[in-house]
Structure 1
Amino acid sequence: MKKLKVYSIITTIIVLFVLLQGSIVTKTGSGQGCGTTWPLCFGEVIPYNPTLETIIEYTHRLISSVAGLLVLILSYWSWRKLNFIKEIKFFAILASSAIIIQGLMGAGQVVFGQPPLIMALHFGFSAISLAAVFTITLFTFENPFNKAIVPVGRHFKRFVIAITIYAYTVIYTGAFVKHMGASTACTGFPLCNGEFVLFSQGTIVFAQMFHRLAGMLLTVLVIVFVLWILKLYKHQRLLVILSFVSVSLIFVQLLSGIGMVFTYNQNLTIGIIHALVISILFSLFTYIVVITRRIK
């Protein structure tokens, strides 16, 4: 079991790195760094005299391929070794399916080109893959006699499911904003170019403002989640710890989003943090859904 733990942690880190690389590819405009050929790069196995964009795209392809293989192995291994966890089959299948779909969509974007909505979904599948692998990794620290179970009320369970689904929606709106080039549609925060606008200034501004409002609502929901726990479930140590981690992540997410606005989306580090943190938050809530739905 120790080997599986180490392997799952390494796989999670690499999947997270792939997600980071994807953000860098988009941020630097390197999506066509290997032209329109896949899996070859400009028709070559190893590109000759590559540009920086080619290096970024080619490296992303290599690491993504490694990550895909690691996830498939992890799915099979965990399915065999963690059969005392009833949720393992679902997450093993989810991790494998998401990483395969993610890879195919990336290849499709290179060869055929894809509209922003589809490319946003590509990032969404990356987040699902990370969430599934992250949850499997946490499963490796359980045993038949020590499974993480957090008894909570029915309404709280539903709230956790709702906030998890909503967090994924926010991921999608953010990815859509990025891929349609709307990240710099508004200057200033919380207003857009000094105004509160949604519908009056076109699709790009609408997408930017809609994402802002969605992100701020998610912040409110996470705060409600934490306060709910502190009021009714403060005796549940694991839940309290996860709640404080979640509220820390959402504030980093909010501040990085504001930072992107005031730096006109020119700071690569802030953009990467913004993309990674929301994915980690979604992964965390995915695990919280599991442990709150378990029955002793």
Structure 2
Amino acid sequence: MVKKKLLIVIILTYLLIVFGGYVASSESGMGCGPEWPLCNGAVIPELQGDTLIEFAHRVIGLVLFLLFSQVVIHIYRNERYHHLKSIAFYSYLLLIFQIIAGAVVVILDLPALVVTLHLVLAMIFSGLLTYLYRHTENPYFKEKKSQHLPLLLLTLLITIGLGAYVKHTSIGLTCSWFGCHSAFIPTSLEGWIQTVHRVFALFSLVYLIYVAFIYRNRSILIALVLLVIQITVGVITILTKIDLFWGVLHLAFATAVYYFVLDAWLQTKQ
């Protein structure tokens, strides 16, 4: 039962991350006004336009919080999962901090750094959830020893975080898809930020190809295919001047890559 609920929470977290990208890209983040937890002064507001989008995002978050609360309670009550208590506790604290960060985002009118932190915390939380999911069946589970996969995960996390910052500071079109408007070297801080994001993305791709040759793991191979698609979508996003659909798809693939690399790291070694 715990494992099934954890899987649902993992899926909800993924949907929440992607839907959060849609909220930001559609500029619906203030659909409930600068209020939290109320929405436009009401528990259930008039559901239309930006308000419907932002309120739906909050409802998904509430469902996730309630379901994960049940999981944590069950882990603490069942001795079978005693080996998961500390991770469950820290995951719960992180979720609460994530909720607080979400409230700060709304109250302070979507500051870019806090929005980026909000996403990065969600990614870390999803990682802890995957850890819990992989450990529910086997208390003596041991991860494969790897120096590459943790570093690859960190690289992906930095890439996603930089991408979120680029998006939320509206500097995504500072550079064209290759180079910075006829200049190979950026001439502005905004251009450098976007270029660093792209360098991390390219490094992630090269590193993932290298890791795929080493491990030949199914999850790694899936992640590699998804990353190639994700980078292609990133180019299309720039060419379409950050079209809503392509922007959200860009985040969806990036998050999926992160999940599959994480899963490869946490696969059991019997």
User: Normalising by the residue count of structure 2, what TM-score does the alignment of the two structures yield?
Assistant: 0.89
CA distance in 1: counterparts of 2:253 and 2:78, whole angstroms: 30
Distance 1:222 1:78 in 2: 35
Question: Which residue is equivalent to 2:135?
Answer: 139
CA distance in 1 between partners of 2:5 and 2:175 (Å) = 43
- The one of 35, 39, 43 aligned to 2:37: 39
Amino acid of the residue matched to residue 230 of structure 2? Answer: Q
2:193 aligned with 1:207: yes
Once the two structures are superposed, what CA deviation does each residue of 1:97-145 show, in whole Å capped at 9, x if it has no partner? 22212211111111123531221111101111222223323334x3358
CA distance 1:112–1:84, shift in 2 (3 Å): closer
1:206-256: CA deviations, max 9, x gaps? Answer: 2221111110111111011111224xxxxxxxxx21221221222122112
- Residue matched to 1:116: 112
Deviation of residue 148 (structure 1)?
6.5
Which of residues 172, 185, 194 in structure 1 aligns to 2:174? 185
2:75–2:82 CA contact under 8 A, matched in 1: no
Say yes or no: does 1:246 pair with 2:223: yes
Deviation of 1:53 (Å): 0.7
Q: Pick closer, same or farther for the CA change 1:276–1:101 going to 2, 3 Å.
A: farther
Deviations 1:146-191 (A, max 9, x none): x4654x5xxxx2222211222111121111111111122222x222
Aligned match of 1:171: 160
User: How much has 1:71 moved relative to structure 2?
Assistant: 2.1
Structure 1 match to 2:89 = 93
Give the Cα–Cα distance (whole angstroms) in 2 for the partners of residues 260 and 81 of structure 1: 48
Partner of 1:61: helix, strand, or coil? helix
Distance 1:76 1:101 in 2: 18
Give the structure 2 partner of residue 264 of structure 1.
Answer: 241
Question: Corresponding residue for 2:215?
Answer: 229
Letter in 2 for 1:210: V
Match of 1:237 in 2: none
Task: Provide the C-alpha distance between the structure 1 equivalents of 2:222 and 2:78, rounded to a whole number of angstroms.
Answer: 29
Match of 2:202 among 200, 216, 230: 216
2:257 corresponds, among 276, 281, 286, to 281
Distance (Å, rounded) in 2 between the aligned partners of 1:277 and 1:74: 27
In 1, Cα distance between the equivalents of 2:233 and 2:103?
30
Residues 94 and 129 in structure 1, CA contact (< 8 A), matched pair in contact too = no
Q: Show the counterpart of 1:27.
A: 25
Residue 173 of structure 1 aligns to a residue whose secondary structure is helix
- How many residue pairs get aligned? The number is 270
Partner residue in 2 for 1:53 = 50
Q: Distance in 1 between matches of 2:160 and 2:89?
A: 22
Query: How far did 1:291 drift?
Result: 4.6
* % identity of equivalent residues: 24
| 2:66 pairs with one of 69, 77, 96 | 69
1:127 equivalent in alignment to 2:123:
yes
CA distance, structure 2, for counterparts of residue 281 and residue 213 of structure 1: 17
After TM superposition, give the deviation of residue 279 of structure 1 in Å.
2.3
Contact map agreement 2:22 2:244 (CA 8 A) in 1: no
Quickly say closer, same or farther: Cα 1:84–1:38, change in 2 above 3 A.
Answer: closer
Answer yes or no: is the 8 Å Cα contact 1:180–1:204 preserved in 2: no
Amino acid at match of 2:64: A
- Report the TM-score, using the length of structure 1 for normalisation: 0.82
Shift of residue 16, structure 1, vs aligned partner = 1.3
